Amino acid sequence: MVEKRSVSRVIFNIFNYGFMFLFSFICLIPIWHVAMASISDPRLLMASKGVLLKPLGEITWDGYAMVLTNKSIITGYVNTLFYVLATTIIMALGTLVAGFLLSRPNFKLKGPLGIGIMFTMMFSGGLIPSYMVVRGLGMTNTRWAMLIPGVLNAFYIMMMKSAFEQLPGSYEESAKLDGAGPLTILFRILVPLLKATIAVIVMFNVIQQWNSWFNASIYLTKTREYWPLQLFMREILINNDASKMATNLDAEKASSFVGNLVKYCVTMVGTLPLLCAYPFAQKYFVTGVQMGGVKG
């Protein structure tokens, strides 16, 4: 399409590009600040204020060395990868089936099921009863506690349901005539058409799982070896603050400041994988979210 080059268009473009440039700059500030702080001289960092545009003093990788040699970080990374992968599969299967059911036109259970699922978005029972259920199932201090509770989410199911409803009915009609069952229709015919929506909920789930720590903190108190990355990171962050308080140990003279870098290094280590993965997922968002959110 050829754009008309009217004066107002040019003025608009100047402003629009200018605004976007400025906005990008503002959005870049925090991550840039964190990146620069993570390799700054820790003692100077302690005495600095405001945004860092370049590292302070000599560049140091001590903070990263400290974080990455922490025994727990590696364990955490491996666990988190496993949880992200496994929950994504479970979540995708459950959400697909639930969304599919809610979108069946001649299904009497559809109404009650939909309301039942929506209701869980608004009300929850709280910590202790949830714990008792999970414990009753023998899941506490096992990896199952990270995989099953909370894996299905009403929001995603509603999104999936809308996506199914958007598809023209003709696709499955022919399949039905061939005598295909619901599972065949779902996985053979509909899933390939909804790749984009699935990609979106997968991405949402990955972000959510990557950042989750609360369930682990409640259910995995005896099994630190199962902890996800974020829980270890949280502990490092909190502990780092707490241990700044000089202890009565002569050895811990305040001469060491590398601890100050930890907050920044942990942020980088914890979010960089997601930041890098995001642009790749971006192309799916372009068609995905739209199909999910809409009910015509």
Partner 1 sequence: MGTLAGCGNYADGGRNNDSGNASGSGGAAEEGKQLLPEDDASKEITFSVWTGADDYKHYNSYAENPVVQCLNKKFNIRMEFQQPPMGTEVDNFNVMLGTGDYTDVMNTTYSTSSQSALYEDGVIIDIAPYLETYMPNYYRVLQEDSELRRLVYDDDGRAYGIYNVEDLDRNQWGGMVYRRDILETMTGGNIAFPSGGEEPVTVEDWEYMLPFIKTYFDNSGMAETAPLIIPACGYIMTGELIAGFGTSGTWQLGRDGSTVEYGPATEEFYHYLCKMKEWYEAGYIYQDFASRTNDLFYLPNTSLTYGGGAGVWMGLLGQTGSAMSLPEYGLNMDVRPITAPLDTAHGISEKDASFYIFSGVASMPFCISSSCDEDKIARILTVFDYLFSEEGTILRNCGLNAEQAAEDVIYQSYSGMEKGAYWYDEEGNYCVNETFTNATDNFDPNSFFGNRLPGIPAHMPDPANIERTAQDDMEDHAGEVWITYGRERQIPTGAVMNADESKKFNNVRTQIMDYVDSMVPKFIMGTEELTEESFRKYVEQLSALGMEDANDAYRSALERYNAR
Partner 2 sequence: MNEVQMEKKIRKGMTWRKDIHVNWRLYLLAIPIIVYFVVFNYAPMAGLVMAFQDFKPTKGIFGSQWVGLQNFVRFFSSPNAFTVIRNTFVISALGLFIGYPMSIGFALLINEIRLKWFKKTVQTISYMPYFITTIVICGLIIDFCSSSGIITNLLVKLGWMERQNMLTNPDYFWAINLISDEWQGLGYSSIVFIAAITNVSGELNEAAAIDGANRLQRVWHITLPGIKPMIVSMLILKCGMLMTVGFDKILNLYNPSIYSTADVISTYVQRVGINGGEFGYSTAVGMFNSVVNTALLLIANHLSAKYAEQSLF
- Between CA 199 and CA 176 the distance in angstroms is 27
CB of 272 to partner 1, least distance (A): 21
Tell me, by CB under 8 A, how many residues bind partner 1: 54
Of 161, 134, 155, which is closest to residue 145 (Cα–Cα)?
134
Residue 220: count of CB within 10 angstroms of its CB: 21
Binding mask 111-130 for partner 1 (x = CB under 8 A): ----------------xx--
CB of 63 to partner 1, least distance (A): 9
CA-derived radius of gyration, the chain: 25
Total residues found in the chain within this entry: 296
Q: Where are the alpha helices (DSSP H) in 167-258?
A: 170-177, 182-184, 191-193, 195-211, 214-219, 229-243
CB of 246 to partner 2, least distance (A): 22
CB of 252 to partner 2, least distance (A): 24
- Give residues 135-174 in contact with partner 1 (rule: CB under 8 A): 135
Binding partner of residue 247 among partner 1, partner 2, none, CB cut-off 5 to 8 Å per kind: partner 1
Nearer to partner 2, 3 or 250 (CB): 3
CB of 251 to partner 2, least distance (A): 28
Sign of the torsion formed by the C-alpha atoms of 213, 69, 44 and 51: negative
Residue 108: count of CB within 10 angstroms of its CB: 8
Structure tokens at 215: 């369930």
- Give residues 201-240 in contact with partner 1 (rule: CB under 8 A): 213-214, 216-218, 221-222, 224-225, 227, 231-232, 234-236, 238-240
By CB under 8 A, name the one of 254, 276, 280, 296 that touches partner 1: 254
Of 232, 217, 51, 32, which is closest to residue 140 (Cα–Cα)?
217
Residues forming contacts to partner 1 in the complex (CB under 8 A) are 43-44, 46-49, 62, 65-66, 69-72, 75, 127-128, 131-132, 135, 213-214, 216-218, 221-222, 224-225, 227, 231-232, 234-236, 238-242, 244-256, 258-259
